[in-house]
Amino acid sequence: MSTLRRRIFGSPPPSPSPVPTPTGFNVKDIPEDLKLITTEKLNKLKHGARKGHKRRVSIWFALGGLFGLFIAGFFAQQHDILKFESFLDLNLDSLIDVLPPGLVKDAKALTQHERDAVQYDSFSVGLHLQSQGIKAHHPVIMVPGVISTGLESWGTAESSRQYFRKRLWGSWNMMRALVTDKAGWKRHIMLDKTTGLDPPGIKLRAAQGFDATDFFITGYWIWNKILENLATIGYDPGNAFTASYDWRLSYQNLETRDQYFTRLQHYIEVAVKASGKKTVVLTHSMGSQVFFYFMAWVEAEGHGNGGSEWVDTYIEAWVNISGCLLGALKDLPAVLSGEMKDTAQLNAFAVYGLEKFLSKEERAEIFRAMPGISSMLPKGGDAVWGNRTWAPDDLPGQKASFGTFINFKESNSSTSPKNLTVSESLQYLWDHSDDWYQDQIRHAYSHGVAETTAQIEANMKDERKWVNPLETRLPKAPNLKIYCFYGIGKNTERAYYYREDTDPLSQLNVTIDISMIRGEVMNGVIMGEGDGTVSLLSSGYMCAKGWHIHRYNPANVSVKIFEMPHEPDRFSARGGPNTGDHVDILGRASLNDLILRVAGGHGQDIEENIVSNIKQYSENVKIYEEPEYEPFLLWNNPLEPLESLVQQVQDSFGSANTTT
């Protein structure tokens, strides 16, 4: 009987042929690392290896056939040959029922093998700390990052009824709507270009509860591993809360439309009243910007009205996970041309398919119609990101500086006569975008640097500045603790090569020059240090240096850094327990350990762990302490040798007036 028939009908394989036993073997001649096994066991191993290979071939052949049928249905629907919607209603259980039992069994065995390859128990961190006596202590509030909160439709207009209470972001319903009703999906997902609020007849709202952020789509976890470990030491909906939000909205409109910051203030106050203990706030990515904005909002008169002591009264610690405090550089090309590394480095076939399905013009339009995303445009200008000849994170021997953010290979380009720094790139974006987008962003955010305490205090009355830690300050909360946990060691977008967009059908002026491949440049993208999404300077500068400058941290709030090198497990699609990736880090074992220690009231036991060059890069940034506060900066740097500090203080005040 053929091998194919045996695979389909489950007939037993032929008996293995006997293998002659070798003679003349001396046991003493066998190396120590060689293990003797019986002939019978050897035959089983050989057969198992062939069987495993055949299983994979059979499974991939079957899945390939199903995928081909799916694609055929997609294209056939344009000619009314097949109804594509019927494929979307296909039930996996019914599909399994009609597949050969042997194939299903092989698929399950292969899946189990892949799971066993990475033995990482999601609850192991919590169980380990539980055995050490760590248990739930402080109430926990979680503020998720950009795009990780599901958005569901609550509109009842005729065009929205089919989507009522279905997620149009963060579920398979999103994929279905995008494929079968792209125009309708775009109308729902984009905000009104004039108001920045819901378009007429459309109503999308952030999903609520733990379900809003635990998984993006089925099988792709976001916060789920943290939730599992928190639950292991005693957390539940009574002492933990997810403060999900509509990440498309500008921060002002989050309060205008959803009263988000008012609700967050009340949740925190109720948690403290119910438990008798201050809260620990966990934030990730854009969520760190949202919470930084909230701390200014909640104390401001006419907004939260909490007064200058509110944060010190209600917040025990802020755990800042992979926070893009100074923005995400990839945000600028996303809104400028609808591109980033993820699109620039696709192969030609994938690029063709993507452009036909959702062109870069459409992507840029969608990104611009989500003002919340533009809150992550880079902050600090040339002082942080460099000029045409220099950048703080330039490496020795580097051929070209990171300081030129947008580069043009053709120096006589009519699109731009010169290469552009970060601050010039922002101006270029304003000059080449519609008035509605400029108005939305300029009225919502600011990207500069405050150089004096007087400027900082004036900015505390301007809500446009509250998202920028270089133009406002931390609250005057001397008992607050800040923990900066972020990944390092993964290539991250740092600069780009652009060219004129010569496509006559394109409405964009420029596009990433994917033909540019030279040295450190790959498909027009220049890589630097970070976590794969956020640059090291954005994640680390404020924690390593900025909040050690008096005007940004007048109450001397404690700030600790714990960097996590990216050491992915090659058998895990998500990097395993030692990943430093921007999103996957939420499942990292050591991060979960640190979070549970802070929440359990043992944050003081955490020691700093700095393994990158962030200290040196931060010293290179051209933002300085005011002369009258220079001793504050010196004594607020715990890594500076004492003798060096004494010498610098003596130089500042004169040795006759200084004692050790």
- Does the residue 459 lie in any domain? no
The answer to whether 604 and 376 are in contact (CB under 8 A) is no
Whether 393 maps to a domain, the answer reads yes
Predicted pLDDT at 358: 86
Pair (112, 184) in one structural domain:
no
User: Which runs of E-coded beta strand occur in 54-174?
Assistant: 140-143, 151-153, 167-169
Among 206, 233, 250, identify where a domain stops: 206
Could you give the CA distance from residue 551 to residue 532 in angstroms, rounded to a whole number?
A: 31
Structure tokens at 129: 């700390």
pLDDT attached to residue 418? 86
In a domain, 43, yes or no: yes
**Per-residue pLDDT at 311:** 98
Cβ atoms of residues 341 and 367 within 8 Å:
no
Contacts with 333 (C-beta within 8 Å, 6 or more apart), sequence order: 339, 340, 493, 496, 512
Q: What is the pLDDT, as a whole number, of residue 100?
A: 57
Tell me: do 391 and 345 sit in the same domain: yes
Q: What does 42-99 look like in DSSP terms, one character per residue? A: HHHHHHHHHHHHHHHHHHHHHHHHHHHHHHHHHHHGGGTSS-HHHHHT--HHHHHHHS
Look at residue 238 and tell me if it is in a domain. Answer: yes
DSSP, res 279:
E
d(CA 441, CA 196): 10
405 in the same domain as 308:
no
Tokens (6 digits) for 418:
């010169």
Do 607 and 496 fall within a single domain? no
In this predicted structure, what is the pLDDT of residue 24? 42
Residue at 635 is within a domain? yes
Return the SS3 of 335. helix
My answer on whether 195 and 104 are in the same domain is no
Please identify every residue annotated as catalytic: 285, 531, 582
Whether 314 is in a domain gets the answer: yes
Phi–psi pair at 246, nearest 5 degrees: -85, 100
132, 55: one domain:
no
- Asked if residue 213 belongs to a domain, the reply is no
Quick one: which of 215, 149, 142 has its CA closest to 373? Answer: 149
CB 515 within 8 A of CB 524: yes
Question: Is 290 among the domain residues?
Answer: yes
If asked whether residues 246 and 163 sit together in one domain, one would say no
CB atoms within 10 A of CB 157: 10
The domain total for the chain is 5
Residues 135 and 262 in one domain: yes
Q: Cβ distance 492 to 342 under 8 Å?
A: no
Q: What's the confidence (pLDDT) of residue 414?
A: 65
CB 230 within 8 A of CB 140: yes
* Number of alpha carbons in the 13 Å side-chain half-sphere of residue 372: 25
Q: Which residue has the tokens 């402080």?
A: 138
CATH number, residue 263: 3.40.50.1820
pLDDT at site 236 = 97
Amino acid making up residue 520:
E
Whole-structure pTM value: 0.79
Same domain, 253 and 179: no
Domain span including residue 345: 331-377+380-447+492-529
Three-state SS at 442 = helix
Same domain, 250 and 135: yes
Low-confidence ranges of the chain (pLDDT < 70): 1-121, 344-354, 410-416, 631-660
296 and 395 both lie in a single domain: no
Q: For residues 399 and 63, what is the distance between their CA atoms, to the nearest angstrom?
A: 47
Question: Are 533 and 565 in contact, with CB atoms under 8 Å apart?
Answer: no
Q: Quick one: 266 and 135 in the same domain?
A: yes
